[in-house]
Amino acid sequence: MARAVLLKDVCFSYNANQPDTVEAIKKLSLEIEEGSFVALVGHNGSGKSTLAKLLNGLLLPTSGDVRIFGDSTMDNKKLFDIRKNVGMVFQNPDNQMIASIVEDDIAFGPENLGIEREEIIRRVDWALTKVGMLEHKKGTPFKMSGGQKQRLAIAGVLAIKPKILVLDESTAMLDPQGRSEVLKVAHELNKQEGMTIIHITHFMEEALGADRLIVMNDGEIAFDDTPQNVFRHYEELKNIKLAVPWDTQFAISLAKLGIDTGEITKEEDLIDSLCRLL
């Protein structure tokens, strides 16, 4: 597997060299393999969104190097390719729609890449199929639910055929149903298309299906492991204002009373374990 993302000693400060400078990323190094599903979690101000914007050159490191498939974001000539490879979906679905008809909105990206009409049509259909919105091709985004709009935003990015998809708190403003719709699409893209997914979220529960969970705190990586292993540090996570998933917390609460359920991350496991105990 190729190395999709490489960060080496990356520092980033807002308002660098000014009196009100703020160090958001502190000498951070990180590698992400192609095809992996990485969840990036941290409280507000931990630096996770800054990190996301460093990945496609929306922000450039104050020092250090960010490389996407070997290309540095500092290299102006490569920046266009990097942005083609790293698709970003942001938090607010309403800010990411530009056309009044769904298919026009999805076609916008490939049109700007100067792709032929037939290919654009193929890509629009493909992208809409991938997010389960093909039937809304001729519809208008403005009357859709948050989850649907966010899936369209993903389709718009997919039409550019990126190799890496960054979801920057794309689920934060959605209701539970919209949230699970978006997550499902992300997992399918990861499994079926082998797309590298970097999912940024406040919520540990959304990290459950990820191969790897990176927890950010204060501009640094606090944990970087499988979700199960990270959840073992629940006390430390609380200190950096994060909570483990509900079912895990429930098992921990029982363990504190001396009832051992074993390690729990999912609801089914908790139910099975309780059935054995009771």
Partner 1 sequence: MPIVIKNLSFTYSKGTPYEKKALDDINLTINEGDFLGIIGHTGSGKSTFIQHINGLIKPQEGEIEIFDIKLTSQKRPKVNLKELRSQVGMVFQYPEYQLFADTVEKDVAFGPKNLGLSNEEIKERVKEAIEMVGLDYEKVKDRAPFELSGGQKRRVAIAGIIAMRPKMLILDEPTAGLDPYGKEQILNLIRHLKEHCSPTIVVISHDIDEITRFANRIVVFNDSHIVYDEPMQELFKHSRQLQAIGLDIPRAVKIANALRYKGINISNNIVTAEDLLKNIVELYNKKHNTNIDAQKAAFDMYDFSHKWIAKDNKEGDDCQNINESSDKHIEESQEDKIDDNKKDNKDEIIVNQQKQKRDKR
Site map (CB under 8 A) of partner 1, residues 213-242, x = contact: -------------------------xx-xx
Site map (CB under 8 A) of partner 1, residues 4-33, x = contact: ----------xx----x-x-x---------
CB 133 → partner 1: shortest distance, Å? Answer: 17
| Helix count and strand count (H, E) for the chain | 10, 10
Q: Which is nearer to partner 1, 38 or 244 (CB)?
A: 244
Q: Which is nearer to partner 1, 46 or 72 (CB)?
A: 46
Of 100-119, which residues contact partner 1 (CB under 8 A)? 108, 112
CA distance 87 to 68: 12
Helix, strand, coil % over all residues of the chain, rounded to 5 = 45, 25, 35
Identified binder of partner 1 from the candidate list 29, 63, 100, 177, rule CB under 8 A: 177
219 and 47 Cβ atoms separated by less than 8 Å: yes
CB 177 → partner 1: shortest distance, Å? Answer: 8
When asked if residue 170 is in the footprint of partner 1 (CB under 8 A), the reply is no
Identified binder of partner 1 from the candidate list 30, 62, 91, 139, rule CB under 8 A: 91
The tokens describing 145, both together, are 């639910």
CA distance 198 to 167: 6
Identified binder of partner 1 from the candidate list 29, 63, 229, 253, rule CB under 8 A: 253
- 3-state SS record for 59-97: CCCCEEEEEECCEECCCHHHHHHHHHHEEEECCCHHHHC
Identified binder of partner 1 from the candidate list 106, 120, 128, 270, rule CB under 8 A: 270
CA distance 186 to 87: 12
106 and 145 Cβ atoms separated by less than 8 Å: no
3-class DSSP assignment, residue 149: helix
CA distance 138 to 48: 36
Residues of this chain that bind partner 1 (CB under 8 A): 14-15, 20, 22, 24, 43-45, 47, 49-50, 53, 58-59, 90-92, 95-96, 98-99, 108, 112, 145, 168, 172-173, 175-177, 202-203, 238-239, 241-244, 246-247, 249-250, 253-254, 256-259, 267, 270-271, 274-275, 277-278
